[in-house]
Amino acid sequence: MDAPVAFTSEHEEFASWVREFAAEFSDGYNDRAHSDEFPWELARAMGKQGLLGLGTSEERGGQGLLGEELTKTHLGIAHEELAYADFYLSQLAYTCNLTAPLLERFLPAHRADEYVPGIVNGDHIVALGLTEPGSGSDAAAMRMKATKVDGGWRLNGEKTSITFAPHATAMITFAKADDGQGGGGITAFLVPLQQEGVTIQRFADPGWRPLGRAAVFLDDVVVPDDLLIGGVGNGFKLVMKEFDYTRSVIGLMSSGVARKALDLGIAYARDRTAFGRPIGANQGVSFPIAEQATKLEAARWLCYRALSLADLGRPFTKEAAMVKWWVTDVALETIRQVVILHGHTGFAEEMPLQAMLRDVSGLEIGEGTPQIQKLVIARSLIGRETVG
């Protein structure tokens, strides 16, 4: 019970720094939600502000490694504040602040110098390629193969539902490695996407449109040894180590969007009049707002509880799973209630509410479905030997 769940003045200052930057982009969210054009202007503005280098060393253009001055709680604050202004700001930060530190830590220095500064500056983006058709949340069931060849590895297989893939310079991907000497296991590679043997098939999605999502096919794609990440057989550990953190942050991205929707609903309840008084005077309007505000506040602090445990070096798998299935659910219900409050105008594309529903729905199905999260929670509470 000793994990901090209250912000210090330093946390508040950090939140204000992010909030003030993000506010100027808020009005453009709905237009971007209906466009397939990648928001490079957002990425470069965020890079200039330092928001794509949280957790990357100052030597490579970042704001410093986690554990020095920044913590995972700081990252959570940044993602929530960015999502409040524009979901796409938050998703850009989420991916870049995962990939840049990962590549800096595990690639040889000359390769890290090649890729990391461009991510931090917003000049290019590196996608994360884990999911495969038929395996979903079961990372151990992947079928992509990596076979050792002279000077590198030959990769064959398909990754699907890969965010940023249509626009990415490279993709961190995972494959079952065969080193030819009886060794292997799930291994991570950085795969440049502009090379022979790579085919990208973009999906036509209702949400996340400017970010892009695609299937990526690798057909005898050779990756040199110096683009292997973390050693042969360590890929699964890298994935599982990050899941608890990423699920906690996804909750704050969801809650950030939902807080914005709720604020729109509160303003509407004050300003819209019917029968000579604001509609917020009616309990049928005010009670759903009160209910969702309460649930959303509880959901937000569950996210920060998980990140606080992470900063203390304590296990938080159970809390992260609770966040992933419940917070996104609360966020979606909050947005739906605001849509109902607005009536037919809440259904119109001229308002951002439908875009918010689509974008948060994308978060709900990523990083493990709600059913998987409930299984993780049940195993933690009852025991794997009982739940299975």
Asked if 130 and 159 touch (Cβ cutoff 8 Å), the reply is yes
The region, left, alpha or beta by phi > 0 then psi within -120 to 50, assigned to residue 102 is alpha
d(CA 258, CA 334): 6
Please name the amino acid found at residue 97.
Answer: N
Nearest to 189 by CA among 224, 241, 159: 224
CA distance 276 to 58: 59
Contact between 38 and 92 under an 8 Å Cβ cutoff? The reply is no
Q: How far apart are CA 188 and CA 193, in angstroms?
A: 15
Query: Is-catalytic flag, 367?
Result: yes
Looking from the CA of 91 toward its CB, the CA atoms found within 13 Å total: 26
How far is 226 from 103, CA to CA, in rounded Å? 11
**Which residue type is seen at 91?**
Q
First to last CA, the chain: 28
Cβ distance 344 to 276 under 8 Å?
A: no
Q: Kindly provide the b/e burial profile for residues 43-64, where b requires at least 16 CB atoms within 10 angstroms of the residue's own CB.
A: bebbbebbbbbbbbbeebbbbe
| Alpha-carbon span 56 to 50, nearest angstrom | 10
Beta strands in the chain (DSSP E): 126-129, 145-149, 152-163, 170-178, 184-192, 198-202, 213-224, 228-229, 273-274, 277-278
Catalytic hit among 80, 132, 364, 367 = 367
146 near 177, Cβ under 8 Å? yes
Angle (CA) 283 285 286, round 5°: 65
Residues recognised as catalytic:
367
